[in-house]
């Protein structure tokens, strides 16, 4: 299984025009949004926390507060551009790959690795509560390296 976090290959189809991508998602392409979208979507698919994006933004001289980063990530998520994967109450990752798949979470490295959707099988899922339907099932398998 390929670890897409470390794939150097860049898919040219995902390169700009990010302005158009934002517009199509119903978001006004402000300078900050475009700059953050460039950091997020300018390369291969990845998983990133708000704090990681904040430090990348500082390095790229995109001057935004952590609060703005959080807001923008949530707006991108609401618009369907990102998927949010919560690993615990205090930590979420944003995944630029919004397709159906699952994750390994490497606890001691705080890193996510993709698992293809079809390699996780369910024999029985509980029926959703009355009047509700399942939107998707997120599996996070926590792992750590042998000592």
> Using CB under 5 A as the criterion, which residues of the chain lie in contact with Zn ion when the complex forms?
95, 97, 114
- CA 114 → CA 26, 54, 59, 106, 125, distances in Å? 28, 23, 27, 11, 22
Residue whose CB is less far from Zn ion, 57 or 113: 113
Residue whose pair of structure tokens reads 């397709």 in the numeric block? 99
Q: Report the residue number whose CB is nearest to Zn ion.
A: 95
Residue whose CB is less far from Zn ion, 29 or 44: 44
* Residues facing residue 92 across a β-bridge: 86
In the complex, the smallest distance separating the C-beta of residue 75 from Zn ion, rounded to whole angstroms, is 20
* Residues facing residue 83 across a β-bridge: 95
CA nearest 63: which of 31, 99, 100? 31
Look up residue 7 and give its two tokens: 């794939």
Residue whose CB is less far from Zn ion, 47 or 54: 47
Residue whose CB is less far from Zn ion, 17 or 100: 100
Residue whose CB is less far from Zn ion, 33 or 114: 114
Look up residue 144 and give its two tokens: 């750590």
In the complex, the smallest distance separating the C-beta of residue 141 from Zn ion, rounded to whole angstroms, is 12
Answer for the pair 115, 141: CB distance below 8 angstroms, yes or no.
yes
Look up residue 138 and give its two tokens: 């997120």
In the complex, the smallest distance separating the C-beta of residue 145 from Zn ion, rounded to whole angstroms, is 20
In the complex, the smallest distance separating the C-beta of residue 103 from Zn ion, rounded to whole angstroms, is 5
In the complex, the smallest distance separating the C-beta of residue 98 from Zn ion, rounded to whole angstroms, is 9
């Amino acid at each position: 299984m390929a670890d897409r976090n470390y794939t150097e290959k860049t898919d040219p189809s995902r390169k700009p025009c990010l302005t158009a991508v934002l517009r199509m998602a119903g978001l006004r392409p402000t300078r900050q949004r475009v700059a953050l979208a460039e950091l997020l979507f300018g390369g291969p698919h990845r998983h990133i926390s708000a704090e990681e994006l904040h430090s990348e933004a500082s390095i790229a001289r995109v001057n935004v507060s952590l609060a703005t980063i959080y807001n923008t990530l949530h707006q991108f998520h609401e618009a369907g551009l990102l998927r949010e994967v919560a690993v615990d109450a205090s930590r979420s990752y944003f995944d630029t790959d919004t397709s159906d798949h699952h994750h390994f979470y490497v606890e001691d490295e705080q890193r996510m690795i993709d698992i293809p959707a079809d390699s996780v099988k369910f024999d029985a899922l509980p029926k959703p509560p009355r009047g509700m339907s399942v939107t998707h099932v997120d599996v996070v398998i926590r792992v750590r390296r042998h000592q």
